[in-house]
């Protein structure tokens, strides 16, 4: 288990610029120790989703959590091509380098161990993290996949993209007011609801002048991200990752047979939890897996 040492720490926010001038936002949780960690949230989330884990990691390792483009405080370019997995992964590399979580070296192929980075992604963020790990090669020291990244989604879900997109709509009564929305989120698991969870929930929506809520993730970015997610081929991408892979899954969650690629460095951990959000329900165990404990 990894406990929280400084529950009151407030991470400052920064941006890195990527071509052609888009801003990618990240929270700098600070911390000492190498290699650093970059945390990547899931679909329609934000960097705040990782707060419970980041508060634990920062005791041992340099920690940053990013907003994917179209999400949180990052820019949301309108071109669908801007949400291709290779582009999203390049944003991860830019945050890793710009934040100092990944130390720059003159010769990346001869980089010392402390120059590498640990990547951890949740859900859709696990897919993006996997593509980024493949891009980084030896500069990625460990890849941690939290409830995502292993499955071919058309096979696992049995859905087409448009059907999946329709299923993302919240019930109207949940979005009727901030009070109703927060009560719904708290009810998922009252024992793990705290100020960080409320902040993550509030970051996922925008309150209209009439008091109703809409999703904070830009609709065009959400659709383009889902389409990229459904194009992900786990065998091809996971097979190109050179780092050890740790996959954390909710016990009993539906899954296909998993990747058929030969993944000799894959370790799988199953955790009992009431839902998909292991970052909220089991943060100590997720932090320990990221740290290799």
Does residue 17 carry a pLDDT above 50? yes
Does residue 256 carry a pLDDT above 50? no
List beta partners, residue 143.
119, 245
96 or 4: which leads in pLDDT: 96
Are the CB atoms for 87 and 78 separated by under 8 Å? no
- Collapse the DSSP code of 131 into the 3-class scheme (helix H, G, I; strand E, B; otherwise coil) and give the result: helix
Average pLDDT, the chain: 92
Question: What pLDDT, on the 0 to 100 scale, is given for residue 274?
Answer: 92
Does residue 8 carry a pLDDT above 50? yes
Tens of pLDDT along 162-179? 999 999 999 999 999 999
Distance CA 176, CA 185 (A): 13
Establish how many alpha carbons lie within 13 A of residue 49's alpha carbon, considering only the half-sphere containing its beta carbon: 28
What's 146's DSSP letter? Answer: E
Tens of pLDDT along 65-99? 999 999 999 999 999 999 999 999 999 999 999 99
Mean local confidence (pLDDT), 40-69? 97
- pTM here is 0.95
Tens of pLDDT along 90-123? 999 999 999 999 976 545 555 555 669 999 999 9
Mean local confidence (pLDDT), 26-53? 95
Report domain extents, the chain.
Answer: 13-167+217-291
> Given 3.40.640.10, 3.20.20.10, 3.40.50.2000, 3.40.50.1820, which CATH number is that of 13-167+217-291?
3.40.50.1820
What's 206's DSSP letter? Answer: E
Mean local confidence (pLDDT), 141-151? 96
Q: What is the dihedral of CA 285, 64, 266, 269, to 10 degrees?
A: 20
Q: 129-139 in b/e burial notation, b at 16+ Cβ within 10 A?
A: bbbbbbbbeeb
Can you say whether residue 44 is alpha, beta or left, with left for phi > 0 and alpha for psi between -120 and 50 degrees?
left
Does residue 285 carry a pLDDT above 90? yes
Mean local confidence (pLDDT), 280-291? 96
Per DSSP bridges, beta strands 245-250 and 266-271 are parallel
Phi, psi (5° rounding) for residue 119? -110, 135
Are the CB atoms for 74 and 67 separated by under 8 Å? yes
Question: What pLDDT, on the 0 to 100 scale, is given for residue 160?
Answer: 96
Does residue 289 carry a pLDDT above 50? yes
Distance CA 179, CA 36 (A): 37
Rg (CA), the chain: 18
Could you give the percent of the chain with pLDDT greater than 70? 93
Mean local confidence (pLDDT), 125-147? 97
Mean local confidence (pLDDT), 150-172? 95
List beta partners, residue 146.
122, 248
Question: What pLDDT, on the 0 to 100 scale, is given for residue 19?
Answer: 93
Distance CA 101, CA 33 (A): 10
Distance CA 109, CA 260 (A): 28
């Amino acid at each position: 288990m990894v406990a929280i040492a400084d529950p009151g720490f407030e991470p400052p926010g920064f941006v890195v610029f990527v071509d052609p001038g888009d801003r990618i936002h990240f929270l700098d949780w600070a911390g000492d120790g190498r290699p650093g960690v970059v945390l990547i949230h899931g679909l329609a989330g934000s960097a705040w989703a990782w707060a419970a884990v980041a508060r634990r990691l920062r005791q041992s390792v340099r920690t940053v959590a990013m907003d994917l483009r179209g999400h949180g405080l990052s820019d949301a370019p309108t071109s669908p091509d801007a949400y291709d997995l290779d582009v999203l992964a390049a944003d991860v590399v830019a945050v890793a380098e710009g934040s100092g979580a990944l130390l720059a070296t003159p010769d990346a192929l001869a980089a010392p161990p402390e120059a590498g980075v640990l990547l951890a992604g949740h859900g859709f963020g696990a897919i993006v993290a996997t593509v980024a790990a493949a891009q980084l090669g030896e500069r990625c020291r460990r890849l941690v996949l939290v409830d995502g990244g292993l499955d071919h989604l058309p096979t696992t879900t049995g859905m087409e993209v448009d059907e999946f997109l329709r299923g993302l709509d919240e019930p109207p009564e949940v979005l009727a007011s901030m009070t109703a929305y927060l009560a719904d989120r708290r009810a998922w698991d009252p024992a793990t609801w705290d100020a960080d969870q409320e902040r993550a929930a509030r970051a996922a929506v925008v309150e209209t002048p009439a008091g109703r809520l809409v999703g904070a993730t830009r609709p065009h970015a959400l659709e383009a991200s889902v389409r990229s997610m459904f194009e992900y081929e786990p065998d091809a991408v996971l097979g190109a990752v050179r780092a050890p892979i740790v996959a954390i899954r909710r016990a009993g969650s539906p899954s296909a047979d998993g990747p058929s690629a030969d993944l000799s460095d894959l370790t799988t951990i199953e955790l009992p939890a009431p839902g998909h959000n292991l970052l909220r329900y089991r943060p100590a165990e997720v932090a320990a897996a990221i740290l290799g404990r």
